[in-house]
Structure 1
């Protein structure tokens, strides 16, 4: 296995549900566009995940996948800067999910918070299926398959990342303990040379005896720079730092986003299911009509009634789109009844339309070239499979499934 710098690798995915809206754009895509220039990024359309809840409504999945891909590309996610692919076109996701299911305790899956939450929210669906119970493990396989050290998520997804860490830790504990590991690790230290070996040992001791996290990070950085040791020895030295075995599957960390949740047209969180979204490819007329009809402070029955922006969902969009001067104008005008609700919405309509205009121009090019979109996703799947195969080679070897 090639020694991947997991802390420079990002994995993130989206479940295909059709065209994307401003909540997706501000909550995820703008962050991806930034991350793709700072990290090695793998962005996955997780179509198998769609089946965990919508297994009885599969007719539109392929169309939803294409719609999502067009919106990603239009938003600026670039196939030259990141790897874009469809989950089901990389079958190694399924194999790793199966192999991890052999070691994953049932109780771990049952205690994932979203398991009960989604059953309550989707009470009209029969979710008493193996696939729905196991979807956090499939998500874990998505991450661990690429040895991604960083996963951009919101705070509500933290339990899923902790679950993935638990699974990786259990796998490494069970299978990273090769026979004679300590002796092989000590032999690898001797190959470092006196000066480097002394530094490595002192950093390892500082972490194991004093819990010095900075020493651990320094030692990891030291190992990454080494050119004179074999990949196997380097993996042993990484594992030996923490007193375990070889690090077969690195534990992922959450890359928390501080992006606020986008308010929908009715004041609730913007989502397709709430029917309160502005979509990235809505026309200028649709954007204007939706925002004009957006409810405001209920205290403003008449134009002359003063209002309070804190009680108005429109204000939450101003906090995302408007300058400090415009927000001040809204605050004063609303509270004094100096402006009406349509006056308040006018600069917001203009700002949303201006933001979407270049994105929609790019979207047209991809909409008119479906073969290009399919080609981008196919090439991404090949790149993803190259990485996935390397991981599976190591995993099969650890599990004794090596027959060559």
Structure 2
């Protein structure tokens, strides 16, 4: 696999936290469903990551994995269009984590923003463990294992992709300088033919002397088109134009996802820890009860009191679920006391239930067919392991661990 191909590969995962809520659906899963038709996608259940903070009580992880996979499938993540697997069932992740730990400075892990944040938030837990310190490296191994060029993340997770880029860069610098690298690269240029060789050299000069990023992108496209060079030569030439060595582990790029606009029942971000969520496939009676009892504008005590939508958590949900006509009706009716709070909530309840209906129906099919879910994960595991073995073969060889 070439580093240019990696730009068409996406890797993303979730810790198993049990059944998901509508915040996950709007913030992550709808995006996954879209991406799986545009890229080669690997989606994994990060059960080893769950152990970094739940090592003292892993009893709920298994059921959480099952519930979460069913939610993925119910949301439209398609095993025919993407690869779904459980992290711990691809042991190659652990080996790459170990090998990368040999070259990763401790300071890089300690400065990861979420390292200290999580320690502060979870002060009741003993997180002075190697596993917790090393989880950013395990995350990097997950990405680099599949040579994924794109990683969908929110703005608060970009730092994890950045450390992955640094690790890939360090690995390529240390191990990509194979004996005779420049000679082999020059020989590979000749194989491209006179016209393409001249163009490559021109683009290389423009990038190295002027920092022209367009020249780098054009060179990538040029290399992708070449039929006369091997994948190994392509990797050498990709590294050669950047002034480094052979690209063994391509550097990933964050694929920024829009912040989820799905507020919780109290107006804050929807979260299980805040207990302000609506389950992705929650029972209709429960959904109706939760929305009907939502807090509204505290200044609107009586039915005849005018209200202010901006001060009401219900208005946040209307922003997600209601069309402009309904929102205009809510704004006018609230401000002039023309509608009551229960009237305001009625179209919202209808819209949420309508969105959930097909999700619940699809989930029932998978809940009643555990063997089908198991087979989907098994097939995903095999596809993931095939890709993982290819990467590890190159990594071991680069590190001098290939004994055949």
TM-score, length basis structure 1: 0.98
> Which residue pairs with 1:272 in the alignment?
272
Map Cα deviations across residues 252-298 of structure 1 (whole Å, 9 max, x no partner): 10111114342111222111111111001211111111111111111
Partner of 1:82: 82
Note if contact 2:307-2:337 (Cα within 8 Å) is conserved in structure 1. Answer: yes
Local SS of the residue matching 1:151: strand
1:197-218 deviations in Å (ceiling 9; x for gaps)? 0011111111111111111101
Give yes or no for contact 2:319–2:327 (8 Å, CA) kept in 1.
Answer: yes
Counterpart for residue 256 of structure 1: 256
CA deviation vs aligned residue, 1:46-74 (integer Å, no higher than 9, x gap): 10000011111211111100000100000
Write the mapping of 1:319-358 to structure 2, written as runs, cut at 5 A.
319-358=319-358
Please report the RMSD computed on the Cα atoms of aligned residues, expressed in angstroms.
Answer: 1.0
In structure 1, what is the Cα distance between the partners aligned to 2:2 and 2:111?
35
Matched, 1:45 2:29: no
Instruction: Write out per-residue CA displacement over residues 351-373 of structure 1, whole angstroms, 9 at most, x where no aligned residue.
Output: 00000001110000000111110
Confirm whether residue 318 of structure 1 aligns to residue 318 of structure 2: yes
- Give the 3-state SS of the residue equivalent to 2:56 in structure 1: coil
Distance 2:156 2:235 in 1: 33
The residue number in structure 1 matching 2:289 is 289
Name which of structure 1's ranges 295-304 and 101-110 shifts more when overlaid on structure 2: 295-304
Q: With structure 2 as the length reference, what TM-score do the two structures score?
A: 0.98
CA contact (8 A) 2:3 2:147 kept: no
1:152 is matched with which residue? 152
Alpha-carbon distance in 2 for matches of 1:386, 1:273? 37
| Residue number in structure 1 paired with 2:22 | 22
Match of 1:71 in 2: 71
Moved more, 389-398 or 329-338: 329-338
SS in 2 for 1:83: strand
Q: By how many angstroms is 1:4 displaced?
A: 6.4
Moved more, 162-171 or 299-308: 299-308
State how far apart, in whole Å, the 1-side matches of 2:4 and 2:13 are.
Answer: 20
CA contact (8 A) 1:265 1:313 kept: yes
Equivalent residue, structure 1, for 2:244: 244
Query: SS at the partner of 1:258?
Result: coil
Aligned residues: 404
The alpha carbon displacement at 1:2 in A equals 6.2
Residue 123 (structure 1) aligns with? 123
The answer to which of 123-132 and 17-26 deviates more is 123-132
- 1:5 and 2:5 matched: yes
Give the structure 2 partner of residue 139 of structure 1: 139
Secondary structure, aligned partner of 1:124: coil
d(CA) in 2 for partners of 1:360, 1:180:
59
- Deviation readout 1:160-194 (Å, 9 max, x if unpaired): 11111111111111111111211111111111110
Question: Is contact 2:33–2:76 with CA below 8 Å preserved after alignment?
Answer: yes
Q: Is the 8 A contact 1:9 1:39 kept in 2?
A: yes
Partner SS for 2:268: coil
**Residue 359 in 1 paired to residue 346 in 2?**
no
CA distance in 1, matches of 2:56, 2:386: 32
Give structure 2 stretches of 5+ with no counterpart.
Answer: none
